[in-house]
């Protein structure tokens, strides 16, 4: 393991984000190398100094403005309609051209129609499920 990886693992150790299996390896490296030990001590000191620092946070209204902005909602809806509409039109054209072409075998034309219909049904079910879930989402106001 190189020095940069060990420094990242030391930071993870201090932040309590290191897995149980990696802790002994990192502690052994810290004990055996003076520079890593110094790095570990500096990170611990920095963490101790940072505990008392109060960071300014934006007001909750700042987050809510972005969520309820009508222009944002309208543009988002327009983008979704354009994407899905273009997708359906392109898919419809592909199916139409495959079914109209008399050179295609009947089995291939039936398969293309079945695949297309299946995709559209699954897309419709997914969109319907998402819309139903959106109504009952208990984490609706929380920014992810």
Q: Judge if 86 and 43 occupy the same domain.
A: no
Q: Judge if 99 and 39 occupy the same domain.
A: no
Rounded Cα distance, 36 and 8, in Å: 11
Residue 55 lies in a domain: no
Residue 140 lies in a domain: no
Q: Judge if 9 and 40 occupy the same domain.
A: yes
Q: Judge if 77 and 39 occupy the same domain.
A: no
Q: Judge if 79 and 28 occupy the same domain.
A: no
Structural domain boundaries enclosing 69: 60-135
DSSP helix/strand/coil, 66: helix
What burial class does residue 9 get, using C-beta atoms within 10 Å of its C-beta: 0-12 exposed, 13-18 middle, 19+ buried?
Answer: buried
Q: Is the C-alpha dihedral spanning 43, 45, 47, 50 positive or negative?
A: negative
Q: Judge if 46 and 91 occupy the same domain.
A: no
| pLDDT, averaged across the chain | 82
Q: Judge if 123 and 65 occupy the same domain.
A: yes
The pLDDT, as a whole number, for residue 33 is 86
Mean pLDDT of 118-123: 90
- The secondary structure of the chain in percent helix, strand, coil, rounded to multiples of 5, reads 75, 0, 25
Rounded Cα distance, 24 and 97, in Å: 64
What burial class does residue 40 get, using C-beta atoms within 10 Å of its C-beta: 0-12 exposed, 13-18 middle, 19+ buried?
Answer: buried
Rounded Cα distance, 144 and 142, in Å: 6
Residue 144 lies in a domain: no
Other beta carbons within 10 Å of 102: 6
Mean pLDDT of 112-128: 89
Res. 144: pLDDT tops 60 = no
Q: Judge if 38 and 66 occupy the same domain.
A: no
Please check whether residue 11 is in contact with residue 22, taking contact to mean a CB–CB distance below 8 angstroms. Answer: no
The 10s digit of each residue's pLDDT in 21-74 is: 888 888 888 888 888 888 889 988 888 888 877 777 777 776 666 666 778 778
Query: Which residue would you say has higher pLDDT here, 64 or 94?
Result: 94
Q: Structurally, how many domains does the chain consist of? A: 2
Residue 143 lies in a domain: no
Q: Judge if 14 and 81 occupy the same domain.
A: no
Q: Judge if 98 and 36 occupy the same domain.
A: no
Query: Which residue would you say has higher pLDDT here, 109 or 65?
Result: 109
């Amino acid at each position: 393991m190189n020095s940069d990886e060990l420094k990242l693992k030391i930071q993870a150790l201090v932040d309590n984000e290191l897995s149980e299996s990696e802790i002994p390896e990192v502690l052994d490296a810290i004990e055996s190398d003076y520079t890593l030990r110094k790095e570990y001590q500096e990170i611990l000191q920095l963490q101790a100094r940072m505990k008392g620092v109060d960071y300014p946070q934006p007001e909750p209204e700042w987050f809510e403005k972005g969520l309820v902005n009508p222009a944002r909602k309208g543009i988002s809806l327009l983008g979704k309609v354009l994407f899905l509409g273009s997708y359906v039109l392109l898919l419809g054209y592909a199916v139409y051209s495959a079914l109209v072409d008399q050179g295609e075998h009947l089995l291939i034309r039936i398969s293309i129609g079945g695949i297309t219909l299946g995709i559209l049904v699954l897309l419709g079910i997914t969109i319907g499920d998402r819309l139903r879930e959106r109504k009952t989402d208990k984490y609706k106001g929380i920014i992810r």
